[in-house]
Amino acid sequence: MKPLQLLIGLCLGIVILIIPPTQLQPSPLDPLQTLAVQLDGRKKPLDTVARETVAKIHGSTNYRLENNQTLNYLQTYLSLWFNNRDWNQEPFILLTYRPLKEKIGLDLERKYFSFRELVSSNLGAIVLEANQKQADNIELTRDEREALTIEDRLALMLRTVGTDTLPLVPHPSDSKGTWVSILQSQQYYTNEQITPLQQSYQTLKQAYRLDPLLTTLEVGQVAETLHQELAALSPEIYPKDSVLQREVNFSSFRPFSKAWKIYAIALIVLLLGLSVKQLDLYSGAVGIFLTGLFIQGYGFITRMEIAGRPPVTNMYESVVWVGFGIAAIALVFELIYRAKYYLLAAAPLSILCLLLADSLPAVLDPSIAPLVPVLRDNFWLSIHVPTITLSYASFALAMGLGHIILGHYLVAPQSFQRISHLSKFNYRVLQIGVLLLTTGIILGGIWAHFSWGRFWGWDPKETWALIALMCYIVPLHGRLVGWLADFGMAVISVVCFNAVLMAWYGVNFVLGTGLHSYGFSTGGSELIVGTLVGLDLLFVAAAASRHNRWLLFKSSKNLVKQLSPNQPVMAKEN
């Protein structure tokens, strides 16, 4: 590896990092962004509340109006909060699940619907039936789970539009005490203390109506005054500005978004170096890739500081963590073997994980929420879940290498030496994956013993984790006894990842049942995932067909060689 190229790659990655991110530039709104709100079990800046609320309801942090004007998340939230539009009629609520739209009589081609459209549809009947089934402990259908998700969006919008109950006022003495709204602040403080606060709040609402885009200095001055007055009420309880600003900066910087873009540049540089033999860009690609890994690691550390726990407690965090694991494991193997193909297999998969997490906030909810009771043991949470998800990352990396190997069988079956080397690299990754998954399952059983009073209970998540483990352990043993060769192991690496996909995605989005309900979600498209899996299996079938033809060709060629010495004798006899 060339140190100079590695350094240049790192420098290029750093240059990408310091490009100003897409965010609100310094503006009069800055004091408003860092107003503290006690919501969803923690104290967070208004900037985070705005991002999470708009993303949960709309599925995006920007809202395009009918006149093609675009409001960012904070402008949209303030418009909801101060209710300066007819939000009953605005097509703002996301609904993409076609069977539910068809069932309640909505346009199948639309993604966004107004509050009034949804309330006046047949959604209410489905929600009532779903709530009754939940009360009777009956398993819900996919339509019913999706309907409950839409009900949550409607309820969140109802709580947001025109509300004067946002808990901005801190408790005077108890750090865990309940905060109240500005209009309810007389519960804790005297009229002398809260009158200026209420005046500032009303002034802010009036200033907003005069300047809906919030660009004037007057709005900034009012926001700054309101912020100072709230902090002065209870300085010991109100979060420090540095803590609030850290979360605002983290959300604006979007490290996971930057990481996938850096991985993409590293992939392009690596492909360019492999395609043009005269260009030795390998070390530079490693340097850029390493920068992406650093920035993703920074994102994890910062999110842990904000949440006060390991960031692996929901589907969004697990997807980001798996993307990180794929990149980290690949880089370790790359530094050991200098194979080049580890990064080639890892970069697209890490990009895919981070891109999904970055672009689907309504499906993969990025909000930081309090832990459910079963997850509040940080020791077990810190070792069981990361271990399991790192095994998913290992198997995903093996799946990527399997695609590269099958690609060779498909277009260059004569590359025996390269295929052999790639197969050995793939085998090492599979071993790591099996070790991690086995360890994770055992640790999960111990945690279940302490939390639920039993080591194993055939919960769907547990069952599919065991199935995934067996899908890899059996072929690995089969390789040792000679049942499977390089081609068979490549097929196993690709096909058996579907068991991991079921344990990871299917249990959460398709089955939606079991004791691991804290990880469940809706909005995932089984049709899209199923189509991708089907196309992948077609690719495997094409590679298998090509491999069989190649073996047949080799066999016939060898047969001709064996018979060729007898041909002259036969000619003389004839």
**What is the reported pLDDT for 14?**
61
Comparing CA positions, the residue from 363, 451, 368 lying closest to residue 149 is 363
**What average pLDDT does this structure show over 188-200?**
90
Pair 24, 157: CB distance under 8 Å: no
Q: In whole angstroms, how far apart are CA 382 and each of 65, 385, 512?
A: 44, 7, 24
Average pLDDT over all residues of the chain: 84
Q: State the Cα–Cα distance between residues 351 and 500, nearest whole angstrom.
A: 19
Mean pLDDT of 546-566: 69
What sign for the dihedral angle of Cα 190, 196, 199, 201? negative
- Going by pLDDT thresholds of 50, 70 and 90, the confidence category of residue 572 is very low
Q: Distance of CA 393 to CAs 328, 346, 432, Å?
A: 9, 9, 10
Q: Which residue has the tokens 């909000």?
A: 367
> What is the enclosing helix (H) or strand (E) of 36?
strand 36-39
Q: Are 401 and 431 in contact (CB under 8 A)?
A: no
Tell me, what's the pLDDT at 560? 64
3-state SS, residue 383? helix
Number of C-alpha atoms within 13 angstroms, CB side, residue 22? 6
> What tokens appear for 252 in the block?
């604006």
Band of residue 447 on the pLDDT scale cut at 50, 70, 90 = confident
Bridge partners of 169, per DSSP, are 180
pLDDT band for position 217 (50/70/90)?
low
Residue 89 class from Cβ within 10 Å (0-12 exposed, 13-18 middle, 19+ buried)? exposed
Q: Over pLDDT 70: what percentage of the chain?
A: 86
pLDDT greater than 50 at residue 574 = no
Residue 521 confidence (pLDDT) above 60: no
pLDDT tens-digit readout, 355-385: 988 888 877 888 887 776 666 666 777 888 8
> What one-character-per-residue DSSP string does 11-30 give?
HHHHHHHTSPPSSPPS-TTH
Mean pLDDT of 225-239: 91
Among candidates 474, 533, 542, 531, which has minimal Cα distance to 498? 533
Instruction: Let me know if 269 is exposed, middle or buried by CB neighbors in 10 A (0-12, 13-18, 19+).
Output: buried
Q: What is the pLDDT of residues 295-322, one digit of tens each?
A: 999 998 999 889 888 777 788 888 999 9
Residue bearing the bigger pLDDT, 23 or 479:
479
Chain centre distance of CA 430: 23
| Closest to 350 in 3D by CA, of 303, 387, 297, 280 | 297
pLDDT tens figures, 82-135? 888 899 999 999 999 889 999 999 999 999 999 999 999 999 999 999 999 988
pLDDT category, 562, cuts 50, 70, 90? low
